[in-house]
Amino acid sequence: MTLTEDRSASATPSPMNPARRAMIESQLRTSGVNEPWVLKAIGGVAREDFVPGSMRDAAYIDRAIPLGEGRFLAAPLVHAKMLAEAEPNLKDRALLIGDGDGYLAALLRPLVGSLDAVAPADATAMAGEGSYSLIVIDGAVEELPASLAGQLATDGRLVTGLMVRGVPRLAAGRKAAGTISLLPLAELGIPALPEFAAPKRWSF
């Protein structure tokens, strides 16, 4: 299922509570995330609204939070680094592979011209050509489906987690000559997406 939103649908920023402020100062700034627009975006979204009720008091811890059914909300630093690398702008037609009602969608929506969101299970079967200037995958992939290259416009950007020899890293790339070449960047604790696991291969 695809969810389409535009900038006019963005919610009023949530007032910053002490836990959110402490997270920004002790987790993000100390890890090199100092872009004012990134900190403003994260400071304006209530992360506790996107976790189970039993986990609200732990919403700002520096690790992934289980959401149930094998899903996780990545640590705050992961989403901050993804935003900084993606550099979203109001000219972007963006596609999020993840929960259209989730935390990363709430961060991205006010920063782009339009946002579509597709569940990981549906993204692997996307067909046809798209014209997205930005694709963000909310999780780590072992293998990038060829179908996603078709959704990205020429010179469009893609930001994702990428499993490199079993270690999740932030990765980014652009589309050129019909393909996307991903460059692994910082090692980060990005939850893996089972839908993007590499096929099992025979070994001897």
Read off the pLDDT of residues 169-188 as tens digits, 9 standing for 90 and up: 999 999 988 889 899 998 99
Which of helix, strand or coil describes residue 89? coil
Q: Give the CA distances from residue 112 to residues 23, 91, 152, 159, 185, in Å, rounded to whole numbers and listed in that order.
A: 24, 6, 15, 15, 23
Given this model, what pLDDT does residue 173 score? Answer: 95
CA triple 119-120-125, angle to 5 deg: 100
Domain ranges of the chain: 2-8+15-196
- Taking the C-alpha atoms of residue 80 and residue 41, their distance in angstroms, rounded to an integer, is 9
Cβ-based burial of 194 (10 A; exposed 0-12, middle 13-18, buried ≥19): exposed
What average pLDDT does this structure show over 22-30? 96
Share the mean pLDDT of the chain. 89
- Taking the C-alpha atoms of residue 170 and residue 163, their distance in angstroms, rounded to an integer, is 9
Q: Give the CA distances from residue 131 to residues 119, 122, 135, 154, 182, in Å, rounded to whole numbers and listed in that order.
A: 18, 18, 10, 8, 19
Given this model, what pLDDT does residue 5 score? Answer: 44
Two tokens at 116? Answer: 């579509």
Given this model, what pLDDT does residue 100 score? Answer: 95
What average pLDDT does this structure show over 115-120? 95
DSSP 171: E
Model pLDDT for residues 71-100, shown as the tens digit of each residue: 999 999 999 999 999 999 999 999 999 999
Q: Is the pLDDT of residue 37 over 50?
A: yes
What's the fold here for domain 2-8+15-196?
Rossmann fold (3.40.50)
Given this model, what pLDDT does residue 144 score? Answer: 87
- Taking the C-alpha atoms of residue 18 and residue 33, their distance in angstroms, rounded to an integer, is 19
What average pLDDT does this structure show over 133-146? 93
CA-wise closest residue to 100 among 111, 116, 86, 76: 116
Q: Is the pLDDT of residue 162 over 80?
A: yes
Given this model, what pLDDT does residue 14 score? Answer: 59
Given this model, what pLDDT does residue 23 score? Answer: 96
